[in-house]
Chains A and B, each alone.
Chain A
Amino acid sequence: MTAEVESVEAVGVAPAADPGFLQRYGASIEYVLIPCAALLGALAVFGGFVALYGKNPLDLYFYMYYGAFGTWFSWQNTLTRAAPLILTALCTALPAQLGMVIIGGEGALLIGALSATSAALALQGAAPIVVQIAMVIAGVIGGGLWITLSGGLRQYRGVNETISSLLLVYIALAILNHLVEGPLRDPASLNKPSTREIGAANMIGTIPGTDVHWGLVFGLVAAVAAYVLIYHTTFGFAARVAGGNVRAAKIVGLNVGRLILTVCFLAGACAGLAGMIEVAAVQGRTNANLAAGYGFTGILVAFLARQNPLAIIPVAILLGGISASGGLLQRRLGLPDASVLVLQGIIFVFVLASDALYGRIGLFKGKS
């Protein structure tokens, strides 16, 4: 933001001296160029790492491209994997506007899935559209309230929201296991304790012409809505003010407590929706399989996207692509599964380190 303001001022102060294309759009270019450069840097280092194992880095790059984006199937594979990540990333990115670090999206996802499944099981026999809408509502409310707990603990009891949201993940998992192995267990699920199935008619299916489920559309809509909310509404402006300086926000009369609770609810609602979609589009019931780590990967996505809801979309697709191509790396190059984690780690470090570059590249600076 500051870099943008600077360049705008530069234009305003010295209109006679033509600032040129680079200076005028420097900040925007930086936002695209720096992450791309960080990504390329990470790929280069990962190539070196793979070369140490005696594999050809050029093969590596090709298979990564081929497995993630090389064919129509690969694209669908990538998008399917990206779908839940967009929603769970929003669970971290929204509270980040308020300066909060919420890392408990996984818990909200599990509670959302559990709530949605319970709603569907309670409404067996109703029209599928009714069941589906009830599932969305239940998932959103369940997940929303879960993260609101962290927000409330922070607002009313001064508990660090990062710790509380993380610990709540384990509580959510314990609740899920308890219910799935106890009261909600389908007696027929002998060796894999699960709830009853929600029924094939109530599944939300795939986007016509593709193998990608509707979760992708939910994710895209939620990301755009979150962007509009944060950057184009007074609510979002208030949230960012409170995120920048809580005391100043209070002085100008903003109800910071309400902002925290509302944003936490919206954040949890996104992750809860991801849980609902995992049930309604993939698993068809709730069991321990839902704890697949989407909530945790979402944290990575949010940080790589620098907490910008729109940037979350390409970043989620990128990470979806990395995980989609991970299988091919194992199969063709004989790399262990952990190599994908190594790459994710290297990218993370590069992107965080590249943060220091914003506004410091002379080429893009406005003259002042």
Chain B
Amino acid sequence: MDFGRISRRHLLQGSAALALGSTLGIRGAAAAETTIGFIYVGSRDDYGYNQAHAQGAAALKKLPGIKVVEEEKVPETDAVEKTIESMINLDGATLLFPTSFGYYNPHVLKMATKFPKLKFEHCGGLWSEKDPKNAGSYFGYIDEAQFISGIVAGHSTKSGKLGFVAAKPIPQVLRNINAFTLGARLANPKATTQVIFTGDWSMPVKEAEATNSLIDQGVDVLTCHVDGPKTMVENAARRGAMVCGYHVNQSPLAPKAYLTGAEWNWEALYPKFVKMITAGEAIPNFYRGGLKEEIVKVSPYGEAVSAEARKHADDVKAKFMAGDFTIFKGPVVDNKGKTVIAAGTDRGQQDPELEKMDYLVEGVIGATA
């Protein structure tokens, strides 16, 4: 075998690549536009959490003078620090959106300290006064949209049994399960929600098993809180059950079975952020909101949703939009019979107590531990 010839050819190719590439590199660096970096923990076409952010990034690409660079499947290790630095050093990014919860502490905080002149907007973190000022955290009260989904599910179920495929019993997830159940019981006081925890954010096999097991128990409307709802939606639709989506609109996956869903509205928020920065306004370091603030939204109703359900859901949605509806309004009893919110106590959207939720409300079948 003649290795000499092969390696000579590769050398030639290599040096050509170098010459060509370096011109490309210089052109990239000299471009006079704002570069924004997006980092996703999973793949950006997961029909879920990451796709919701990627849709937001796509909305930014349409703005003039904005260049978006994206990287997917970046783990919550020092890999994300290196990705951030790489976007800054090699792409010239000045605004970064590391979108996964686990990126915040310590990775985003470390990078924000290291690059004090650049801006970091993190999804889901709890920014506090001791954190760097150039870092910020934003998130949405998506339980409002889950509540609307619950109303639609409560009207649509025939068996009165709803199913919830959930990742972990952490406050954010419990809040969604509880809001969904409270919504469903507003429409149908006898409805119950059976919840199954899979143990992690992306466990397609367990999600499929949970979906099947719920349907075997008579559940006819399902929803979920995992990173990629695709598995649940497709399996449930195949088995003839109806679904409420999560993160993004999954109706293309199951056009007949899709009732509605709780979606992020990053494609509205991200351009808003960029416009605020361009106008010289400061984005609050701790930024939150729900339906009214257009951070979350409800998917358009599917064909299976009755007129009665539509009207009920629209009425409640109008109250959310007007800012005078409270989901967690006392008395609230958990599924062990204990009163968790006393009568007369309203726990509104921004109540910090709700961030520590560790119970499942009456009507949920399942346990947090």
- Is the CB of A61 closer than 8 A to any CB of chain B? yes
Q: How far is the CA of A39 from the CA of B172 in the complex (A)?
A: 47
Q: How far is the CA of A324 from the CA of B369 in the complex (A)?
A: 39
Per-position 1/0 for A309-330, Cβ under 8 A of B = 0000000000000011001101
How many A-B residue pairs have C-beta atoms within 8 angstroms? Tell me.
123
Q: Are B101 and A324 in contact (CB under 8 A)?
A: no
Q: Are B77 and A40 in contact (CB under 8 A)?
A: no
- Is the CB of A25 closer than 8 A to any CB of chain B? no
- Is the CB of A37 closer than 8 A to any CB of chain B? yes
- Is the CB of A289 closer than 8 A to any CB of chain B? yes
Q: Are B82 and A77 in contact (CB under 8 A)?
A: yes
The answer to whether A289 and B75 touch (CB under 8 A), given A58-B20, A327-B83, A361-B1, is yes
Q: Are A282 and B78 in contact (CB under 8 A)?
A: yes
- Is the CB of A245 closer than 8 A to any CB of chain B? no
- Is the CB of A243 closer than 8 A to any CB of chain B? no
Near B by CB (< 8 A), chain A positions 57-73 give 58-59, 61-63, 65-67, 71, 73
Q: Which residues of A contact B106 (CB under 8 A)?
A: 282-284
Contact of A40 among B6, B18, B75, B87 (CB under 8 A): B6
Q: Are A61 and B14 in contact (CB under 8 A)?
A: yes
Q: Which residues of A contact B77 (CB under 8 A)?
A: 278, 282-283, 289-290, 292
Q: Are A328 and B86 in contact (CB under 8 A)?
A: yes
Q: How far is the CA of A284 from the CA of B78 in the complex (A)?
A: 11
Q: Are A190 and B82 in contact (CB under 8 A)?
A: no
Near A by CB (< 8 A), chain B positions 3-25 give 3, 6-7, 10, 13-14, 16-18, 20-22, 24-25
| B37 smallest CB distance to A (angstroms) | 8
Q: Are A190 and B79 in contact (CB under 8 A)?
A: no
Q: Which residues of B contact A43 (CB under 8 A)?
A: 10
Q: Are A292 and B6 in contact (CB under 8 A)?
A: no
The answer to whether A331 and B87 touch (CB under 8 A), given A81-B79, A292-B75, A337-B43, is yes
Q: Which residues of B contact A323 (CB under 8 A)?
A: 79
Contact of A190 among B74, B171, B369 (CB under 8 A): B171
Q: How far is the CA of A282 from the CA of B82 in the complex (A)?
A: 12
User: By DSSP majority rule, is chain B's interface helix, strand, loop, or mixed?
Assistant: helix
- Is the CB of A257 closer than 8 A to any CB of chain B? no
Q: How far is the CA of A357 from the CA of B199 in the complex (A)?
A: 47
The answer to whether A73 and B90 touch (CB under 8 A), given A284-B106, A327-B83, A336-B43, is yes
| B263 smallest CB distance to A (angstroms) | 20
Near B by CB (< 8 A), chain A positions 64-91 give 65-67, 71, 73-74, 77, 80-81
Q: Are A62 and B20 in contact (CB under 8 A)?
A: yes
Q: Which residues of B contact A332 (CB under 8 A)?
A: 24, 28
Q: Interface size bucket, A side?
A: 35 or more
Q: Which residues of B contact A262 (CB under 8 A)?
A: none
User: By DSSP majority rule, is chain A's interface helix, strand, loop, or mixed?
Assistant: helix
Q: How far is the CA of A142 from the CA of B306 in the complex (A)?
A: 59
Q: How far is the CA of A73 from the CA of B86 in the complex (A)?
A: 8
Near B by CB (< 8 A), chain A positions 317-368 give 323-324, 327-328, 330-332, 336-337, 357, 361
| A320 smallest CB distance to B (angstroms) | 10
**Which of the listed residues B73, B82, B87, B89 has the most CB atoms from chain A within 10 Å of its own CB?**
B82
Q: Are B72 and A331 in contact (CB under 8 A)?
A: no
The answer to whether A67 and B86 touch (CB under 8 A), given A190-B171, A292-B77, A337-B73, is yes
Q: How far is the CA of A132 from the CA of B252 in the complex (A)?
A: 53
- Is the CB of A244 closer than 8 A to any CB of chain B? no
| A79 smallest CB distance to B (angstroms) | 10
Contact of B82 among A81, A287, A357 (CB under 8 A): A81
Q: Are B82 and A66 in contact (CB under 8 A)?
A: no
Near A by CB (< 8 A), chain B positions 65-87 give 69-79, 82-83, 85-87
Q: Are B79 and A289 in contact (CB under 8 A)?
A: no
Q: Which residues of A contact B73 (CB under 8 A)?
A: 337
Q: Are A331 and B170 in contact (CB under 8 A)?
A: no
- Is the CB of A164 closer than 8 A to any CB of chain B? no
**Which of the listed residues A191, A283, A323, A357 has the most CB atoms from chain B within 10 Å of its own CB?**
A191
The answer to whether A40 and B10 touch (CB under 8 A), given A73-B89, A190-B171, is yes
User: In chain B, what residue has the closest Cβ to A62?
Assistant: B21
Q: How far is the CA of A44 from the CA of B91 in the complex (A)?
A: 27
The answer to whether A33 and B3 touch (CB under 8 A), given A58-B21, A336-B43, A337-B43, is yes
Q: How far is the CA of A336 from the CA of B25 in the complex (A)?
A: 20
User: In chain B, what residue has the closest Cβ to A77?
Assistant: B82
Q: Which residues of A contact B18 (CB under 8 A)?
A: 62, 65
Q: How far is the CA of A202 from the CA of B255 in the complex (A)?
A: 54
| A323 smallest CB distance to B (angstroms) | 8
Q: How far is the CA of A287 from the CA of B104 in the complex (A)?
A: 14
- Is the CB of A193 closer than 8 A to any CB of chain B? yes
Q: Are B71 and A327 in contact (CB under 8 A)?
A: yes
Near B by CB (< 8 A), chain A positions 191-210 give 191-193
Closest CB pairs A-B (n = 8): A62-B21, A337-B73, A58-B17, A61-B17, A289-B76, A62-B17, A331-B69, A292-B75
Chain B residues within CB distance 8 Å of chain A: 1, 3, 6-7, 10, 13-14, 16-18, 20-22, 24-25, 28, 43, 69-79, 82-83, 85-87, 89-91, 101-102, 106, 124, 126, 168, 170-172, 199-200, 355-356, 369
Q: A62-B18, A327-B71 are in contact. List 14 more A-B contacts (CB 8 A).
A: A36-B7, A37-B3, A58-B13, A59-B20, A80-B78, A191-B101, A192-B101, A192-B102, A193-B168, A213-B78, A287-B102, A289-B75, A331-B69, A336-B43
